[in-house]
């Protein structure tokens, strides 16, 4: 088990690790050029957030463990079975029904 920083919204972990706001540069004021194409004044750029931190979410430290097939899973939570686990369970059920 490892304690990790995570983002929690409505009691549910929505991100493990630091939140990535995904900044992009946008042109606030375009560059000014003369008739020869030489830059007289550089463009003014501004960073804009494309993935804002969710309103009401909190940053917490919780315990996680790593599973080869599911990645990092919070300790004590119920996880959704993987496709392989569901197929194996279906196969086991069919074998039982068919007496194999």
78 pLDDT above the threshold of 80: no
d(CA 14, CA 19): 10
- Among 4-8, 74-78, 90-94, the least confident range: 74-78
32's CB contacts (< 8 A; 6+ apart) are: 39, 40, 41
Query: Which residues lie across from 58 on neighbouring strands?
Result: 8
Q: Against a cut of 0.85, is the pTM above it?
A: no
pLDDT, tens digit, 9 for 90 and up, residues 58-72? 999 999 999 887 889
């Amino acid at each position: 088990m490892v304690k990790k920083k995570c983002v929690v919204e409505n009691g549910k972990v929505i991100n493990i690790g630091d939140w990535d706001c995904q900044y992009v540069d946008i042109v606030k004021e375009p560059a000014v050029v003369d008739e020869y194409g030489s830059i007289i004044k550089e463009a003014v750029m501004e960073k804009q957030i494309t993935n804002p931190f969710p309103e009401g979410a909190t940053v917490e430290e919780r315990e996680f463990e790593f599973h080869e097939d599911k990645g990092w899973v919070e300790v004590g939570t119920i996880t959704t079975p993987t496709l392989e686990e569901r197929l194996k369970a279906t196969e086991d059920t069919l074998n039982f029904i068919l007496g194999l």
